[in-house]
Amino acid sequence: MTDTRIDPSVVDDRGRFDPSTADGRWQRAWAEAGTFTADSDSAKPKSYILEMFPYPSGRIHMGHVRNYTMGDVLARYQRMQGFEVLHPMGWDAFGMPAENAAMEKGVHPGGWTRQNIAQMKAQLQRIGFALDWTREFATCDPEYYGHEQALFVDLYEAGLVYRKESTVNWDPVDMTVLANEQVIDGKGWRSGAEVEKRKLNQWFLKITDFADDLLEGLDNLEDWPEKVRLMQENWIGKSQGLEFSFDLSNGDCVPVYTTRPDTIFGASFVAVAADHPVAQALAMNNCEVASFIARCKKGGTTAAELETAEKLGFDTEISARHPLTGADLPVYIANFVLMDYGTGAIMGVPGHDQRDFDFATKYALPITRVVASDPARADDPFAGEAEAGDGVIVNSGFLNGMSVDDAIQAVITRAEGEGWGTGRTVWRLRDWGVSRQRYWGTPIPFIHCDACGVVPVPKAQLPVTLPDDVNFDIPGNPLERHPTWKHADCPQCGKAARRETDTLDTFVDSSWYFLRFASQPADRPFDPEEVAKWMPVQHYIGGIEHAILHLLYARFWTRALAHIGKITVKEPFAALFTQGMVTHEVYSYVPENPSQIAVEEELKGNVTHRHVFEQFLDPSQVDMNTKRRVNDPPPTANSAGVAIGHKWAPQSEIQVGEFLIFPNVLETGEPVKVGRVIKMSKSKKNVVDPDAIIARHGADAVRWFMLSDSPPERDLPWSDAGIEGCSRFVQRLWRLFSAYDANAAGEDKSLDRKTHQTIAAVAADIEALGFNKAVARIYELTGAAEKAAPSASRSAAIRALVHLAAPMMPHLAEEVWAKMGNTTLIADAPWPDVDPALLVDDEVTIAIQHMGKLRDTITAPKGASKDALEALALASVNLQRSIDGAAVRKVIVVPDRLVNIVT
């Protein structure tokens, strides 16, 4: 335990707690004592608490504050419970925004990133997080990405890295590859040009080698949210299906794969992808086919776009022979069939697949029912959509009457027996493409040699560092056009060769950062023994938006490193928690010109083309204080004294209690439209800057707000009233603590009970991450202690409260702790003990119901017998009035809970 020798005389002793001096004082005290520096050699049990590290965008936002406050409470609580806690912080520092800033502002991505990191670190420190800053790093540090390059080479040598062609979004005007988010409505975000699909040779990681293991591992992740495990399971998408071939009328054959062989009798067409060999062959001497294929190449590459795009088909006039019925099916080239999935060709079963249904409807192809709810309904028509559900097979020869599952097996067995097809397990999961044609990322450490092919850069030459002298005046990859960087000698033959100019997906950086936090030797990525001391992460906290990609990639990367013997853990995160977003109302207005009418129509709810004129407003620009009583005349000036007169619009007023609030622009008095409560985002300007709030209310009030009210997995709506309430509570606790008297005498049994029940409940709530419930209990105990007369019990309650508040409001807790005469830090204090005898009440309230409806409540001793409770209930006047003389048919007694009389 650290003796900080705090001089109690420096502690503010006036009426109010003053965060502006206290926050910094305690932040310095923790830093000087090294309170939160994790000791790998400690004999204590270890706990690794981690929140998803931030992208250094420039400013910390409320979402970060919420995320890190939750982790911080856990870290501080676990220290109080006697754990040696590792709670590190770093920066996910590579990525596109730095390059965008470079293009827009002419700054270097590295300089911009470093500056952002410095700013954001200072912001985090002002909130008083219990972080071990000695382990901080950024993924753009060559020391970090150099080790990443070494690991990438290791995986390459283990056969887990390969190259293949794959499709990217290509902007034909900017001559550059676009990220999915840079494609808006199928057009490039800068150029506005229609995006094309283009093939490039790219690097891949063999995540599919681990598909089964990643899937099975989910079963053991009991402390992960069920929904995340389900999402990952569906994403991996293991399915049993049939691969078989159609013989074509032109002599070729087309292999197809289907997960629904049970519906094979319902097939009414065959469709191939635009870049399928059959389509390509036709295009050679048919320009109609060629132009159709070119049309299919337009548009973006995302699943959502592909699946919502209009279904387009081209009838090749080739026919395919159905292997069971012998029927001739038309063969189409279709834009919704993808070469990357399965075999690049499908059998179309319109009755039982929505995409096929849409396609068949458009091209007037037959739609046959082969699955029905009941054999008698074999010829029911379709209600305008496909039926993908379960049922009984009909109109299907030897399959009739079977269940879907049995029919799948029966078709596979028959196909294998007759030799025209084979059962196959396939995965929806695809290998992970890690190539990015960008500058600001980890260079892929390979050299292309005309003689030796692709050769890894020898470990001794790592890191391959990024050149600093680059410019972003023109689009495209600066590494590609750098005058010297890409010229290197082949490590094998020594001849002139070329460096790989692709960089790694930033998801690679975040797939092993937690290992580097646990151990950071200079000469290796990590030390396996040190890693084993801390891993797996005991609590991993971050946004639900990472439910699939980041978490699956990190699970894969950890397995891959275990596979090549680098570490012993396979599963990186023992428990996962996904927190909700911080949201805020959106404020907007339409300037007086060009159209006042548009405002009024909008305010009346008649939506117009407002978006053309709509201006979003920062919450600080909006006046929410101009109000009047319902029967008062309209306001003539806003709260800043600006005349509003004709600008006042009755439709824009919001009723709150007896008042009508007129939201308006502070500076001009223009009426403001208060929109929906959505995630804080720069584009909607509904952001609240944590710094301004901390400056005004102190770190503890902000932390308290982040934990209060909303369950942590749900969205938290920011409100000024809410933060003010939190700020008041900080002062209220301070006043209560000021009333502390170490020498008070006397016992208050019921307060003792409340104190011990609260200690136990708050501990349980924190362990279950139910921070909002822990907060409510602290409010209750605070209220009870305020109302109680001075006594030893009351002093004990106040002492307990200081401990309970310590993980949540650490600055206030330290201040009070010092005022109480302690010379140690409460951050080092143990969590208070609970007396089990005080956890149970001796009296309980029993609900008395008649036919399940509450009629009365009574107080009874805990553990009273069923007979006694029944007798007490029947004695109730209210109950007897409700029964009104009817015969009692049944009495249900739930001990210590209720009695229900059934008549």
Partner RNA sequence: GCGGGUGUGGCGGAAUGGUAGACGCCGGGGACUUAAAAUCCCCUGAUCUUUGAUCGUGCUGGUUCGAGUCCAGUCACCCGCACCA
Q: How far is the CB of 420 from RNA (least distance, A)?
A: 28
Candidate list 12, 600, 689, 786; residue touching RNA; CB under 7 A:
786
230 part of the interface to RNA, by CB under 7 A: yes
Stretch that binds RNA, among 36-44, 393-401, 424-432, 868-876 (CB under 7 A): 424-432
| Amino acid identity at 456 | P
Pick out residues in 692-721 that bind RNA (CB under 7 A).
Answer: 708-711, 714-717, 719, 721
Asked if the peptide bond before residue 463 counts as cis, ω within 30 degrees of 0, the response is yes
**C-alpha–C-alpha distance, residues 349 and 338, integer Å:** 17
List for the chain the helix, strand, coil content (%; round to 5): 40, 20, 40
Candidate list 527, 675, 732, 834; residue touching RNA; CB under 7 A:
732
Stretch that binds RNA, among 404-412, 586-594, 693-701, 878-886 (CB under 7 A): 878-886
Which residues in 442-481 are b (16+ Cβ under 10 Å) and which e? Answer: bbbbbbbbeeeeebbbeeeebbbebeeebebeebbbbbee
Which of 160, 221, 152 minimizes the C-alpha distance to 571? 221
- For β-strands 328-334 and 269-272, DSSP reports them as parallel
Q: Report the number of secondary-structure helices (H) and strands (E) in the chain.
A: 27, 38
251 part of the interface to RNA, by CB under 7 A: no
Is the CB of 487 or the CB of 897 nearer to RNA?
A: 897
Q: How far is the CB of 791 from RNA (least distance, A)?
A: 18
Candidate list 235, 382, 420, 616; residue touching RNA; CB under 7 A:
235
Please answer whether residues 863 and 877 qualify as being in contact, where contact means their C-beta atoms are separated by less than 8 angstroms: no
Which of 564, 570, 573, 569 minimizes the C-alpha distance to 152? 564
Q: How far is the CB of 806 from RNA (least distance, A)?
A: 19
In the chain the first and final C-alpha atoms are separated, in Å, by: 66
Count, residues in the chain: 903
Which phi and psi angles does 555 have, rounded to 5°?
-65, -40
Candidate list 301, 503, 519, 668; residue touching RNA; CB under 7 A:
301
> Residues 569-588 vs RNA: string with x where CB under 7 A?
------------x-------
Query: Which DSSP letter does residue 95 get?
Result: S
58 part of the interface to RNA, by CB under 7 A: no
Is the CB of 83 or the CB of 662 nearer to RNA?
A: 662
Pick out residues in 542-561 that bind RNA (CB under 7 A).
Answer: 544-550
CB burial of residue 541 (10 Å; 0-12, 13-18, 19+): buried
Q: How far is the CB of 594 from RNA (least distance, A)?
A: 28
Candidate list 307, 380, 747, 835; residue touching RNA; CB under 7 A:
307
Pick out residues in 360-419 that bind RNA (CB under 7 A).
Answer: none
Please answer whether residues 812 and 821 qualify as being in contact, where contact means their C-beta atoms are separated by less than 8 angstroms: no
Pick out residues in 458-497 that bind RNA (CB under 7 A).
Answer: none
Candidate list 354, 413, 425, 750; residue touching RNA; CB under 7 A:
354
Pick out residues in 595-634 that bind RNA (CB under 7 A).
Answer: none
- Taking residue 697's Cβ as centre, other Cβ atoms within 10 Å add up to 19
Q: How far is the CB of 283 from RNA (least distance, A)?
A: 25
Is the CB of 251 or the CB of 885 nearer to RNA?
A: 885
Stretch that binds RNA, among 514-522, 729-737, 816-824, 829-837 (CB under 7 A): 729-737
Candidate list 659, 829, 841, 874; residue touching RNA; CB under 7 A:
659
Pick out residues in 665-684 that bind RNA (CB under 7 A).
Answer: 678-679
Q: How many residues bind to RNA according to rule CB under 7 A? A: 101
Q: How far is the CB of 764 from RNA (least distance, A)?
A: 11
Stretch that binds RNA, among 275-283, 555-563, 686-694, 845-853 (CB under 7 A): 845-853
Pick out residues in 174-193 that bind RNA (CB under 7 A).
Answer: 177-181
E strands within 841-889? 843-850, 853-861
Is the CB of 568 or the CB of 651 nearer to RNA?
A: 651
Is the CB of 441 or the CB of 525 nearer to RNA?
A: 441
Q: How far is the CB of 784 from RNA (least distance, A)?
A: 10
Candidate list 279, 775, 785, 860; residue touching RNA; CB under 7 A:
775
Stretch that binds RNA, among 153-161, 243-251, 686-694, 886-894 (CB under 7 A): 886-894
Q: Is 612 helix (H, G, I), strand (E, B) or coil?
A: helix
Edge-to-edge, what's the strand order for the sheet holding 890-894?
A: 853-861, 843-850, 898-902, 890-894
Stretch that binds RNA, among 444-452, 639-647, 792-800, 893-901 (CB under 7 A): 893-901
Pick out residues in 94-113 that bind RNA (CB under 7 A).
Answer: 94-97
* Four-residue CA torsion sign, 228, 232, 234, 239: negative
Torsion (CA) 274, 280, 282, 284 in degrees, nearest 10: 130
- For β-strands 84-86 and 46-51, DSSP reports them as parallel
Query: Which DSSP letter does residue 319 get?
Result: E
Pick out residues in 193-222 that bind RNA (CB under 7 A).
Answer: 200, 202
